[in-house]
Amino acid sequence: MSARTCIAVLSLSWVALACGPAPGWLDGDAWIFDPDWILQVDIELAPEDWNAMRHQDRSFGDVLCAEAPPPNPFDYFEAAIEIDGIRTDPVGIRKKCFFGSCDTDRPSVKVSFNQYVRGQRFFGLRRMTLNNCKSDPSKIKQCLGYWLFDRGGVIAPRCNFAHVTVNGESKGLYTHIESVKTEMLSRHFTDTGGNLYEGALSDFQPDWVSTFQKKTHEDNPDRSDLDAVVNACAAPDSAFVDELSKRVDLDAFYRFWVMEVLVAHWDGYASFNHNNFYIYHDPDSDRFHFVPWGIDAILFTNPDGHKSVFADAIIPHRLYRTPRTQERYLTLVDEMLSTVWDEDLILAEIDRMESLITPIADSYATGQLAARIEEVRRFVVDNPIAIRSEIDNGPVVWDKALSGPPCWRVRGSLHATFETSWGSISSPDPFGEGSGTFDAVLDDLPVPVSFVASTSGLDPNVEAAERMPMIQVLAIVPDPAGDLLIAAIVAVRDPERLAPGSSVPLDLGEGIGYLLRQDPLNPDGFEIFLLMDGAIRFQQAAMADGAPVVGSVEANIRESGW
């Protein structure tokens, strides 16, 4: 760290005397997002509060066929925070995640500076967002992605890195992302009094629009601005573009859409999840603007998907299927590949980030950091070639139907028991391990089984750093054409929950359950269902070779809604 200068900081409600790098700190909040700086963030809170906070989780059932925004299951806890030596006490700290980023050891966190002291700010900021990079082993995708969106002329949060400790224990490298609040909006709009919404599994279709969560004016139930976009999206083809242009800034949307495609944001708005974005209704123009968010799952190629277009959500779906607006989109793809996607500049930015974060991040990436960053470099070089090749062969024909909301219909129920030993999951003959029972009903019919085995251990099919404890109950289903397999597989996110008397909910958060049923018409294929609305319970359990693992699984069997 560079030479430090002692600074006395006087705020509305607190005084802090601290040492920090140099006078630029006094110029607003710019230093907090300095891309060449790794913030040192030290959090202190009662150990019992930390344990309670990190184990809070989200139930996936809350978002199934939701008729309202999913509830926030995370509580604020009182804490103190020190950022590069400047202490603020008290602040509110809560866990932050949807599903893929949920973690009990290194949770993403939100800091609310004014949670307990009205008007308290940290250099003008009310919020601080620290993401754990769980879905990004390269650690650089979020900051690189927001930088690319900004280069593409899209409103995007600022981003840099932070080294986080909790009660003196290092939690490693986090991504520090500007919270999408009025402070951020004020850098882009003259009027920040409009409605801001977060989109999470949200779209402008009647069955999807209710999940948009209001982030400003929360007490005002009026959502007529959203309804106006829904009505525009329902207009006939001859009027659709004109009606939509009255409600959405289309120039800005095209750039947002193209950038989602260029960075391959498969978990964004235009892709099948309709997820991870904000929209702001600008009072001056009376139009919505899109803001990217949650972009940790970007910059890798989905081998099963199109490279040159995502058009699952209703706005890109209808624009791409209209010839004149499809042409406008493809022209902008070509233009932004030539201007925004400056390969040498992007690779240089990757080099800069790697040099900056490696001393902290590598120890938390099991030595894989360099390899994962190299994968990002390959994407930067290869993806434009793939996009242009796809377009040169004729624009993709998008004939997918608009998807319905993400509902998981109940198809049946399962009650299974297991009695096995830890480590047996790696056995060359899993049917020679363990025992159990398997009682399932699927589509109102009981599933006959003739033999049941069970295994447990760390999931052998993923990289070592990402392995979770897993229990399998394997059953044979008699069939005249050859016996078939049906299997209940449950992974437990927190290894500490693998203990006698523990009960772990199957909510795709703490516990992740699947039912695999062999397709009788395709011996090499399986139907995959989700096990939800239940729990896995342990009578005996320990993660030591040969230790007994005994318990039960009870859940509904749901089909995927996508």
Same domain as 461, residue 369: no
Where does a domain end: 159, 184, 209? 184
pLDDT at 74 over 60: yes
Domain that holds residue 333: 200-392
Structure tokens at 232: 């525009």
Q: What percent of the chain has a predicted confidence (pLDDT) above 70? A: 88
Give the tens place of pLDDT for each residue, 177-234.
999 999 999 999 999 999 999 998 899 999 889 889 999 999 999 999 999 999 999 9
Give the tens place of pLDDT for each residue, 159-181.
999 999 999 999 999 999 999 99
Give the pLDDT of residue 264: 95
538 belongs to a structural domain: yes
For residue 549, the surrounding DSSP H or E stretch is: strand 548-558
Closest CA to 154 of 87, 272, 247, 254: 254
Average pLDDT over residues 521-540: 87
Give the tens place of pLDDT for each residue, 101-159.
678 889 999 999 999 999 999 999 999 999 998 889 899 999 999 999 999 999 999 99
Q: Could you tell me how many helices (H) and strands (E) the chain has, helices first?
A: 10, 23
Report how far residue 210's alpha carbon sits from residue 205's, in angstroms, rounded to the nearest whole number. 9
Pick the more confident residue, 549 or 55: 549
Report how far residue 456's alpha carbon sits from residue 465's, in angstroms, rounded to the nearest whole number. 18
Give the tens place of pLDDT for each residue, 275-305.
999 999 999 999 999 999 999 889 987 656 7
Contact (Cβ atoms closer than 8 angstroms) between residue 424 and residue 456 = yes
Give the pairing type, strands 38-44 and 77-83.
Answer: antiparallel
Give the tens place of pLDDT for each residue, 26-43.
346 789 999 999 999 999
Give the pLDDT of residue 15: 28
Report how far residue 289's alpha carbon sits from residue 291's, in angstroms, rounded to the nearest whole number. 7
Assign 562 a pLDDT band (cuts: 50, 70, 90): low
Same domain as 177, residue 96: yes
Same domain as 313, residue 211: yes
* Structure-derived torsion over alpha carbons of residues 279, 284, 286, 287, reported in degrees to the nearest 10: -40
Give the tens place of pLDDT for each residue, 416-433.
999 999 999 999 999 999
Same domain as 481, residue 386: no
Give the pLDDT of residue 560: 65
Report how far residue 339's alpha carbon sits from residue 328's, in angstroms, rounded to the nearest whole number. 16
2 belongs to a structural domain: no
Give every CB contact of residue 531 below 8 A, 6+ residues apart in sequence.
Answer: 414, 488, 490, 506, 513, 514, 515, 553, 555, 556, 557, 558
Same domain as 377, residue 242: yes
Specify the number of domains making up the chain: 3
Give the pLDDT of residue 13: 28
Give the pLDDT of residue 23: 32
Give the pLDDT of residue 98: 72
Same domain as 541, residue 427: yes
Report how far residue 98's alpha carbon sits from residue 58's, in angstroms, rounded to the nearest whole number. 7
Report the range of poorest mean pLDDT among 5-9, 68-72, 123-127.
5-9
Largest CA distance in the chain: 81
Where does a domain end: 133, 155, 184? 184
First to last CA, the chain: 49
Give the pLDDT of residue 116: 96
